Amino acid sequence: MLLVAALLFAVPAAAPLSAQGVQQTKGSFEDKFRQLDEVLPTPNTYRNASGAPGHEYWQQKVDYTIQAELDEAKRRLTARATIRYTNNSPDSLPWLWMQLDQNIFRNDSMAELTDAFGGPGRRGPKVTLGSGSEPTRLSMEELRRQQAMADNQYGYDINAVRTLAGADLPHTIVGTLMRIDLPAPLASGETTEFTIEWAFNIVEEDAVSARSGYEHFPDDPRKGGNDIYLMAQWFPRMVAYSDYEGWHNKEFLGRGEFTLEFGDYQVEMTVPDDHIVASTGVLQNAETVLTAAQRQRLEAAKNADAPMFIVTPQEAAAAEAGNPRGKKTWQFNAANVRDFAWASSRKFMWDAQGHKQPGAEHETVLAMSFWPKEGGDLWRKYSTAAVVHTMKVYSRFSFDYPYPTAQSVNGPVGGMEYPMITFNGPRTNLNKDGSRTYSEAEKVFLVGVVIHEIGHIYFPMTVNSDERQWTWMDEGINSFLDSVAGYEWDPDMPWTRSLPRDMISYMVSNDQQPIMTHSDSVTNLGANAYGKPSAAYHLLRDTIIGRERFDFALKEYARRWKFKRPTPSDFFRTIEEASGTDLDWFWRGWFYTTDHVDISLDSIYRLKMDTKDPDIDLPRRRAERAAEPEVIGNRLNREQRLPIWVLENPGVTDFYDDNDQFTVVPKDRKSYTDFLDGLTRWERAAFDRAVKEDANYYVLNFSNKGGLVMPIILGLTFADGKTEKMMIPAEIWRRNAKEVAKLLVFPKGKELVQVVVDPDWETADADIENNHYPRRIIPSRVEAFKDEASKSRVSRDLMGEAAGAEKQKDRK
C-alpha cells in the first residue's frame, strides 16, 4: 500500500478538508497556464521564437535634409525638405505614405470629429453633464480650446511634392496621412529621393492642448511680450513600413503616439537672432550663433563636475527685454534617429554638464537644460542633475546612452520626448515680493518628469516600439525604470503610480481594460499603459523572477532591439528566454484580461498524526472531546442544580458509565499490531519516524476571488514569536484556478499562530483583510463633519442678499 494511505490525521468531523475549495462545475475549467503561442504571431525569419530579430530582419531607412524658418510675428513655420527613402524590405513599393500630424488640429480632422462630448481633458473633465435642474458645465480650458480652433486655421499647407528633377509627384491627403504615388515601383534595395515644401500656423499649446506649440508671456518687459516655441511633429515624416504590418497607416488621433523609421538628419532653423535654439542633434555652427564666451563655456562644460551656465541668467534677461536685429540660422546634424524636435526662444537660460561613459560610442554626453526665468532655482538645481542621474541608472538596465546630447527644455508641454531632447513643464511660483519659490509637488514633478522623458530616449527612441498601437511597450518599461531611478534619487520623495499596490483601485474598477487594448481606445491611459505594466515589472523583478534574472532579461531585450522595432511577442519571448521562466500565465492574466489579484486565506486546519496506537490516540481524542464547549442545556441544568438520574439511582449504571467510546479494548490493540505487521520495511520506517517526530501539520485553504493567478506569499508567525516568509509559486493554481489547499509541515514545538497572505503588499492584492488568518479587527478612522448650508437659490435669502448689496452700494 502507499504510505499516504496509511497516514491518518485527526481532523474535526464537522469541518472536512476542502482540497478543491469551491468546486469547479462541469465545463467551468479554465487553464490559466495554457501557452501564449496560440495568441502570439508565428515566429519567422524576421522574428524568431526566442524573441530576437531573425536572420532576415530588416527595416527601412529615411534621411532628411530640412531648411525651416520661424516667423515669430505670424507664429508660422515655413520649410522645405529633401527626403531620401531606402527600401530595405523584400517588397516592391508602388507608393509611399507620410504622416501629417499637424492636420489633427484641423476642424474636420478625425480626432476633432470623433471627440466625444463629456470626454476627459488635459486638466481633468472638460465637461460635466447636467441633469434635471443642474446645468451642464464646460471648463474654461474647453471654452478656450473651442475659440482657438474657431479663430485659427491649423494644419499643413502642402505647397509642393516633387522629384529632384522638379516634376510634380501625385499625392493624396487622407486626414493625418498622405500617399505619394511614385513614377515607378521602388524595388527592394533601391532608394528614391523627393522634395516637399510646407507651412503651418503654430498652435498655442495652452489653448489647444498639444504635444508642441508656442507659449506666450505677455508680462515680459519686451513690448508685445515673448514666446517659447517647442517644435515637434513639425515636418511631414515617413510612415513606418514593417514586416508585420506593411504600412502603419493608422490615423493620428492624439493619444497613440508615433511609429517612425531611423535615419540621418541635416536641419537648418532660421529664427530671430536673439533666440537660443535647443535641438535634436549636434550644433554645427556654434561660431556663428554663439558668442566667444558662450563657446568657451560650452567646451568647459564637457569636463565640469556640476552644471555650468552656457547662457547666463543675465544674458537671458537682456535678450528677454530686447528686440532682434535680424535672423540667425542654426545648423544641427543627427545620426541614426527616428525623429527630430527643437525649441526656440529669447527667454532661455542654458546650462550643461558632461556625463562620462568610458568605452561607449559617445564617451562624453552633454547633459543640458534650457529654461526661462519662470523656471528659477527649481530648474537650476534639479533639471540637468536629473538628466545625468537618469543616464546612469538607465544604462545599467539597457545600454550606454546612445547619443552625444541629452536635453531638458522648459515650456508649455508638461512632458514629451524626442531623440536627444525632452520638453518638461514644471515651474516656480512668483511671490508678491518678486521672489520665486516652489512646492514639494513641483519638485517631485520636475525630477520625475525629467527622469521619465530622458528615459524615453532609451525606450522608444532607441528601442523603437510602436507607440501608435502599444503605448504600454515604452510607457510601461519607462515608468518602471523611472520609479527605480526615482527611488535611487531619493526614496523619501512621494513618488506615485508605479508599484503594484498603486494599481489596486484601477484593477478593481469598472473602467479597467486589458493592457493590450489599442492606445486610442483606452479609457484611463495613465493607469493602463503606464502604471499597470510598471507594476507588472516590479512584481516580476522583486517577487516572481528575482532581480538578477529579471535585470539580465530586460537588458538582453534592450540589447537585442536597440535601433530596431520590437513587438509585444518579441518582448514576452525575450523575457522568458533570458530569465529561464515560463511566464505565459503572467502575460495572459496581467496583459490580456481585466482580472485582479485577490487571494483569500479562508481556513487553516491544524492536524496531528494518529499513531494508530490505541493507548496513545484514544486518550488524546478523549482530551480533545473534553476541551469542546459544554452542551449549553447541560450547563444551564447544572446551574439550576437540577437532579441527574444516574447519580441519584446507582442501580441503573453499567460498564458504559465507567468507560466511554475512547476506552481501549483488546481488539484495538490487535488492530494496531495487525496494521504494523502489514507494513513493508520502508513503510514501517517512514511511519515510525513520522510518529516519533510528531510534527505539526497545517492545511491552508485558499480561494482566488480576483481571478488573476499569482504566487501565494505567506508571512508566518509562530507561538515563540519568530516569523518566516515563504512563497508558493503561481503554478499551484494550474489544476484549479478557483481554490486550492496547501499542506505545510513544521517540527514538533513549532506552532503557527498567524498567517498573512502577501504581508508586504507585493502583488496588488485588492482585499488585504481576507489575507489574515485569524481575521484581524480592521483599522479605520472616524471624522466628524458639519452640514454645509444649501447652495440652492430657492433656499437662499435672495431678498436679504439683495438688500445687503443695496446698502453696500449706498455706502460707496
Read off the pLDDT of residues 728-771 as tens digits, 9 standing for 90 and up.
999 999 999 999 999 999 999 999 999 999 999 999 999 999 99
104-129: b or e for each residue (b if 16 or more CB lie within 10 Å)?
Answer: bbbeebbbeeeeeeeeeeeeeebbee
Mean pLDDT across the chain, nearest whole number? Answer: 92
Give residue-wise pLDDT tens across range 665-685: 999 999 999 999 999 999 999
pLDDT higher than threshold 60 for residue 661: yes
pLDDT higher than threshold 90 for residue 67: yes
Rg (CA), the chain: 36
Compute the average pLDDT of residues 176-205.
Answer: 98
Compute the average pLDDT of residues 33-60.
Answer: 96
Rounded Cα distance between 235 and 240, Å, is 15
* C-beta atoms surrounding 527 within 10 Å: 22
Compute the average pLDDT of residues 371-394.
Answer: 98
- Tell me: cis bond preceding 170? Omega within 30 of 0 counts: no
pTM > 0.85: yes or no:
yes
Q: At what angle do helices 614-626 and 666-677 cross, to 10 degrees?
A: 120
In the structure, what pLDDT confidence band is assigned to residue 214 with cuts at 50, 70 and 90?
very high
Rounded Cα distance between 429 and 448, Å, is 19
Query: According to the model, what pLDDT value does residue 810 have?
Result: 65
Percent pLDDT > 90 in the chain is 83
Compute the average pLDDT of residues 548-570.
Answer: 98
* Grid cell at residue 648: 441519584
Report the run of H or E that residue 668 belongs to, with start and end. helix 666-677
Higher-pLDDT residue of 220 and 17 is: 220
Query: According to the model, what pLDDT value does residue 653 have?
Result: 86
Q: Which residues pair with 368 in a beta bridge?
A: 352, 407
pLDDT higher than threshold 70 for residue 450: yes
Give residue-wise pLDDT tens across range 150-169: 999 999 999 999 999 999 99
In the structure, what pLDDT confidence band is assigned to residue 798 with cuts at 50, 70 and 90?
confident
pLDDT higher than threshold 60 for residue 13: no
pLDDT higher than threshold 60 for residue 7: no
Query: According to the model, what pLDDT value does residue 646 have?
Result: 87
Query: According to the model, what pLDDT value does residue 130 have?
Result: 74
Q: State the burial class of residue 667 (Cβ atoms within 10 Å of its Cβ: 0-12, 13-18, 19+).
A: exposed
> Which residue has 537588458 as its cell numbers?
555
Query: According to the model, what pLDDT value does residue 16 have?
Result: 40
Percent pLDDT > 70 in the chain is 94
**Secondary structure letter of residue 345 according to DSSP:** E
499: left (phi over 0), alpha (psi -120 to 50) or beta: beta
Flag the least confident range among 11-20, 312-321, 704-713: 11-20
Higher-pLDDT residue of 786 and 492 is: 492
* Grid cell at residue 286: 556654434
Compute the average pLDDT of residues 208-223.
Answer: 94
Strands 752-757 and 772-773: antiparallel
pLDDT higher than threshold 70 for residue 3: no
Compute the average pLDDT of residues 97-101.
Answer: 98
- Residue 502's closest CA among 162, 765, 169, 679? 765
Query: According to the model, what pLDDT value does residue 1 have?
Result: 36
- Tell me: cis bond preceding 460? Omega within 30 of 0 counts: yes
Rounded Cα distance between 300 and 283, Å, is 16
The H-assigned helical ranges of 107-261 are 110-113, 140-151, 205-208
The helix/strand count (H/E) of the chain reads as 23, 36
Query: According to the model, what pLDDT value does residue 8 have?
Result: 44
pLDDT higher than threshold 60 for residue 9: no
In the structure, what pLDDT confidence band is assigned to residue 119 with cuts at 50, 70 and 90?
low
Compute the average pLDDT of residues 621-635.
Answer: 92
Rounded Cα distance between 775 and 777, Å, is 7
pLDDT higher than threshold 80 for residue 27: no
- Residue 351's closest CA among 371, 333, 323, 378? 371
pLDDT higher than threshold 50 for residue 508: yes
Q: Are 426 and 445 in contact (CB under 8 A)?
A: yes
Query: According to the model, what pLDDT value does residue 115 have?
Result: 85
Query: According to the model, what pLDDT value does residue 2 have?
Result: 35
Which amino acid is located at 666 in the chain?
P
pLDDT higher than threshold 90 for residue 212: yes
* C-beta atoms surrounding 306 within 10 Å: 10
Query: According to the model, what pLDDT value does residue 121 have?
Result: 52
Query: According to the model, what pLDDT value does residue 117 have?
Result: 77
Q: Which residues pair with 254 in a beta bridge?
A: none
Query: According to the model, what pLDDT value does residue 433 have?
Result: 93
